[in-house]
């Protein structure tokens, strides 16, 4: 989590660094404590691990620099409240972007980014590169909407000629005491979830993807037709209907309809029942709720054969659609392993075009992305427990 500090040293603004170093130190230790609290709450290393793979930490990134002057941005949707969703909802700029980016069936691909991930040679570049070298995935870039969580991410996004939307954090005072950090962090994650609900309310289906998911093939042909909510997994047990699968909120396809909008409302409302959990952990609780059954929401879990990750890789290069750099601690480690993963894919495509056998291809990663105590103590089992066991 301290990565963001070191990343800043490359931005050529040492005076800002110095000014903010003290605050970052406080914030860093607060986050460490926060992680420990999560860890202790769950009594599972896995829990901490999942949380750590659930970057970006939007508030962390923004904290490392003073807020930009918001008036300098051409796309500002100011927000009075922390959630600020009432304003986003009526935002004509957002509507315009969605209209431009949507496929014929009103589907958009959405990712969110902070400054650290948007920086040159970081996650965003790798993500875009994967779509360029993937098999017939280049065209999908036209349907991608990048939600920038801070102004520098927004600016970088626009230089790449993508559809970029700046979801401002005006109203959040980053110079507040670090003790507030817990709230800010959770608020930002919920802001994302509620933002996705707005997309549904605007009538668009979305495929949400974390930017650390590399796209090698068009995922749409592998999705279930006519399913409301389908989501990739850190760990997949072979049965797409089994709610005991461990989903990862980093990749999900959600259709816009009455059921999914109601489900997103219910998801947000469940915060009150689990105030100490983030939205991904709450999903693991509410997926079993009778209310979700009552809504009639159809939910499916996507196979890691097609939608893999470092937790559970797609083994067959001839099938893989996406690979997520999940189960990874540290942004530097992530970037290194994802770069190697793209090299693996290029090697595969070279063999294919030379009509050479590819049966024995396997990923050379992860190398850097490993749990901090791998090989020591009890084996880390990523999904060895039922989420219902860990209600705090």
Q: Identify which range of 43-51, 60-68, 227-235, 269-277 contacts ligand NAG by CB under 6 A.
A: 269-277
241 binds ligand NAG per the rule CB under 6 A: yes
160 binds ligand NAG per the rule CB under 6 A: no
To the nearest whole angstrom, how small is the minimum distance from the Cβ of residue 65 to ligand NAG?
Answer: 27
One residue of 59, 77, 194, 387 binding ligand NAG per CB under 6 A = 194
To the nearest whole angstrom, how small is the minimum distance from the Cβ of residue 191 to ligand NAG?
Answer: 9
Residues 6 or more apart whose CB falls under 8 angstroms from that of 308 comprise 314, 315, 320, 322, 323, 324
Q: Identify which range of 49-57, 79-87, 147-155, 360-368 contacts ligand NAG by CB under 6 A.
A: 79-87
Instruction: Answer whether 216's CB lies under 8 Å from 137's CB.
Output: yes
Q: Identify which range of 85-93, 118-126, 200-208, 322-330 contacts ligand NAG by CB under 6 A.
A: 85-93
> What is the DSSP code string of 321-333?
-EEE--S---HHH
344 binds ligand NAG per the rule CB under 6 A: no
In 3D, which of 326, 319, 290, 291 has the Cα closest to residue 305? 319
- The SS3 assignment for 387 reads helix
To the nearest whole angstrom, how small is the minimum distance from the Cβ of residue 77 to ligand NAG?
Answer: 11
268 binds ligand NAG per the rule CB under 6 A: yes
Instruction: Answer whether 113's CB lies under 8 Å from 62's CB.
Output: no
Q: Which of 155, 170 has the CB closer to ligand NAG?
A: 170
In 3D, which of 294, 277, 201, 210 has the Cα closest to residue 249? 210
The Cα–Cα gap between 39 and 330 comes to: 17
**Distances in Å between the alpha carbon of 180 and those of 108, 121, 186?**
34, 32, 10
To the nearest whole angstrom, how small is the minimum distance from the Cβ of residue 241 to ligand NAG?
Answer: 4
Q: By CB under 6 A, name the binding residues for ligand NAG.
A: 83, 85-86, 90, 135-136, 194, 239, 241-242, 268-269, 271-272, 352
């Amino acid at each position: 989590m301290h990565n963001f500090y070191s990343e800043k040293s490359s931005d050529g603004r040492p005076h800002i660094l110095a000014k903010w170093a003290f605050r970052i130190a406080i914030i860093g230790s607060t986050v460490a404590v926060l992680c420990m609290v999560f860890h202790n709450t769950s009594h599972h290393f896995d829990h901490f691990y999942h949380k750590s793979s659930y970057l970006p930490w939007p508030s962390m990134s923004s904290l490392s620099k003073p807020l930009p002057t918001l008036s300098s941005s051409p796309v500002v949707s100011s927000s009075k409240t922390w959630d600020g969703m009432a304003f986003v909802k009526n935002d004509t700029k957002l509507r315009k972007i969605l209209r431009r980016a949507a496929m014929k069936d009103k589907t958009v691909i959405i990712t969110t980014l902070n400054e650290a991930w948007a920086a040159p040679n970081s996650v965003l570049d790798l993500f875009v590169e994967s779509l360029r070298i993937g098999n017939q995935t280049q065209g999908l870039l036209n349907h991608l909407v990048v939600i920038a969580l801070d102004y520098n991410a927004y600016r970088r996004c626009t230089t790449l000629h993508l559809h970029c939307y700046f979801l401002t954090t005006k109203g959040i005072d980053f110079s507040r005491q670090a003790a507030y950090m817990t709230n800010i962090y959770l608020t930002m994650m919920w802001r994302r979830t509620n933002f996705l609900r707005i997309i549904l309310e605007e009538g668009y289906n979305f495929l949400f993807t974390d930017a650390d998911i590399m796209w090698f093939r068009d995922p749409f042909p592998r999705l279930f037709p006519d399913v409301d909510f389908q989501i990739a997994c850190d760990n997949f047990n072979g049965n797409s209907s089994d709610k005991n699968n461990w989903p990862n909120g980093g990749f999900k396809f959600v259709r816009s309809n009455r059921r999914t909008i109601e489900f997103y409302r219910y998801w947000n409302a469940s915060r009150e029942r689990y105030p100490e959990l983030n939205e991904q952990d709450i999903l693991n609780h509410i997926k079993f709720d009778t209310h979700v059954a009552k809504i009639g929401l159809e939910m499916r879990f996507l196979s890691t054969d097609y939608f893999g990750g470092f937790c559970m890789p797609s083994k067959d290069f001839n099938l893989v659609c996406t690979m997520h750099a999940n189960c990874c601690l540290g942004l530097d480690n992530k970037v290194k392993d994802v770069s190697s993963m793209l090299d693996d894919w290029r090697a595969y495509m070279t063999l294919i075009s030379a009509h050479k056998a590819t049966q024995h291809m396997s990923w050379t990663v992860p190398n850097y992305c490993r749990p901090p105590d791998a090989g020591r103590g009890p084996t880390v089992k990523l999904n060895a427990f039922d989420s219902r066991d860990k209600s705090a």
